[in-house]
Structure 1
Amino acid sequence: MNKETLQNYLEAAPFFLFVGIARLLPRLWALKLGRQLGRASRFFQPKRVATARDNLRKAYPDKDSAWIESMIRKVFEHLGISSMEMLRLNHFTTRRDVDDHFTFDGLEHLQALKKQQQGAFLLTGHVGFWEAGTFFMPILGYPVDFVAKKIRNPFVDRFIQNQREGAGGRCLDSKKGARRIIRALTDQRMVCLLLDQHVSKKQGIVVNFFNRPAYATPIIPQIALKNQTPIVPVFVYRQEDYNYRVVIHPPLVFDGPATKQAVQDCTQKLTDIVEEAIRQQPDQWFWVHRRWRKSAERQTS
């Protein structure tokens, strides 16, 4: 065993210990424990707390300090619950699990696309239980792929990939994304992409996100404009009873050539949709992420 493999084992050991605990507990106990652990974790992550505070202050300049601090607590509680949900994703296995824990607004939009035998983008963000689509989409009969980044630790990465593919969906490596995305769409599959993470200046274009410049990937509009591929915004909100409300918007179809301006306008429109979804439930977004960078601000100044 080489040094790198040993290090990966040592790093993964506490993670899998936590996985074992999460899976042994009844569902509600596990999620409530996740909430408490998330709330406590903010005291051990001062840099992430500072990032969340800065992001929230700038996104909600009209809110006072009490609201900001309350939101930070709720955000960390949400992250703790989300961790438990991800580790226990394989406990959702049947259509009854869908019926028991999920309600849907707008499912007819996906049904129409399926009848038309048409591939489509599913647009979402790190809102609520965003991983849930890896379960309910295949269970409901929709062939779906999920674009995701690989995790550095190979043992953890393999575990997470197995969780995401357990119900029948497929993971696509974001580093090799474009060609595989086009192939999946050609095969009449739905491809889920998240649009709310920072991408590098080289890969992204600047958009307005919560009234601040940020980089976003233009890959969805580039492909959608060229092929008139429908884009369906989908967001999964966690409810107070730990069940989920899935909101599926009507499909968007962008016409015309994929000019630089058209790609810019479409990326901004999609970013606006994600922002509005976050504003519906701001405590269920990933505010600890360094979404905004000074290089984007300089590019617009």
Structure 2
Amino acid sequence: MLRLALLLNRHLPRLAGLAMIPLVRGLFWLARALGPERASACGGALTRRVGPWLPAHRTAIANLRSAFPERDEAAIQALAREAWDNLGRTGAEYAHLHTLFDIDETDPANQRITADGIEHFANLRDDGKPGLIFAAHLANWELPAICAAKYGLDATAIFRPPNDAATARLVQEIRRETMGGLAASGQGSVFSMQGVVERGGHLGQLIDQHFTRGVVVEFFGKPVLANPLLAKLARHYECPVHGVRVIRRPGVRFHLELTPPLDLPRDAGGAIDVQGATQAMTRVVEGWVRENPGQWLWMHRRWRPNMLPKPKVAKG
């Protein structure tokens, strides 16, 4: 009996994950059957109602109060509901990622997605050099990687797999269907990412979440830990760094903006300064979030003061 209990304890999480696969796929096919507009609306309505009852809502409210101390409680709660709505819509839109970027250039009124800075995509594609692109969890943050693939840009997107095995499997299938190269973040992944850049490829990364081994930068006036990978690669390979963001419009429509290459700060020796470059990218992201705060992922614990490195005390 004890052996059976130990065996169940070891394998129950995996069995539960396997049991979730039919449910997750069923929800996916239901969203696809509903069509993009109804699926997105249903996803948003669901999370708008359920989200405020979840523990992550407290994180979102605390983050919003910290970022916007000048706003009253009603405004903070409204922004949190918008963020939940955006999250639900983004989840439901996974079922339609393969069609969201269909562009009818002869009829702009029927375009789901418009874009500024497409000339920068073309330059990245045709200049024969490696390039780096940073993004944030804004609106439907999967779209930049699809845009790159649509325009023939050899790009590899760095992603963090979902914790749930069933969801992770389905999400990866969808991403491989619609995007270019993919690289899962984790131990040993840095070497594969370096390989992409060394081969003259392009690397895209979401940079707006907490990174335990990161460098300290300022975000909304408070210190946070940010991933310095893109800054380190830019320093080592002297390649351009662009930012890309997505703005959600009514009716499952989106606008993408790709910035010109950033003029990153350099140290006394002329090399790109890693901390300064990471701060420059973070400052761009903050500007994006301030413009559309209801479309950012406020449920993430971005500010963790207890995890910041302690200042060194001079001896003697």
TM-score by length of 1: 0.90
**Larger-Rg structure:** 2
List runs of 5+ in structure 2 lacking aligned partners.
1-7
How high is the sequence identity, in percent, across the aligned residues?
25
AA in 1 matched with 2:248: R
Distance between the aligned counterparts of 1:188 and 1:89, measured in 2?
Answer: 27
> Conserved in 2, the CA contact under 8 Å of 1:120 and 1:231?
yes
Moved beyond 3 Å, runs of 4+? 1-5, 91-99, 152-155, 253-261, 296-301
Distance between the aligned counterparts of 2:89 and 2:255, measured in 1?
Answer: 16
Counterpart residue number, 1:243 = 253
Distance between the aligned counterparts of 1:186 and 1:241, measured in 2?
Answer: 41
Distance 1:73 1:152, change over 3 A: closer
Distance 1:94 1:66, change over 3 A: closer
1:174 aligns with 2:185: yes
Counterpart residue number, 2:3 = none
1:54 aligns with 2:65: no
1:21-73, Cα deviation, whole Å (9 max, x unpaired): 1111021111111121121112431x211111110011001111111111111
Stretch deviating more after TM superposition (60-69 or 291-300): 291-300
Distance between the aligned counterparts of 1:60 and 1:12, measured in 2?
Answer: 40
AA in 2 matched with 1:141: G
1:120-145, Cα deviation, whole Å (9 max, x unpaired): 11110101111012322111111111
Match of 1:272 among 277, 280, 283: 283
1:39 partner SS: helix
Q: 1:282-293 maps to which residues of 2 (within 5 A)?
A: 282-293=293-304
Distance 1:195 1:243, change over 3 A: same
Distance between the aligned counterparts of 2:249 and 2:100, measured in 1?
Answer: 17
1:244 partner SS: strand
Counterpart residue number, 1:228 = 238
1:214 aligns with 2:229: no
Q: 1:116-127 maps to which residues of 2 (within 5 A)?
A: 116-127=127-138
1:49 partner SS: helix
Counterpart residue number, 1:42 = 51
> Conserved in 1, the CA contact under 8 Å of 2:156 and 2:181?
yes
Distance 1:95 1:103, change over 3 A: closer
Distance 1:180 1:33, change over 3 A: same
> Conserved in 1, the CA contact under 8 Å of 2:264 and 2:276?
no
List runs of 5+ in structure 1 lacking aligned partners.
none
> Conserved in 2, the CA contact under 8 Å of 1:135 and 1:166?
no
1:206 partner SS: strand
- C-alpha deviation, 1:115, in angstroms: 2.2
Match of 2:88 among 77, 80, 94: 80
Q: What is the root-mean-square deviation of aligned Cα atoms in Å?
A: 2.5
Distance between the aligned counterparts of 2:309 and 2:166, measured in 1?
Answer: 39
Distance between the aligned counterparts of 1:168 and 1:80, measured in 2?
Answer: 21
- C-alpha deviation, 1:15, in angstroms: 2.0
AA in 2 matched with 1:231: V
Counterpart residue number, 1:7 = 16
Counterpart residue number, 2:5 = none
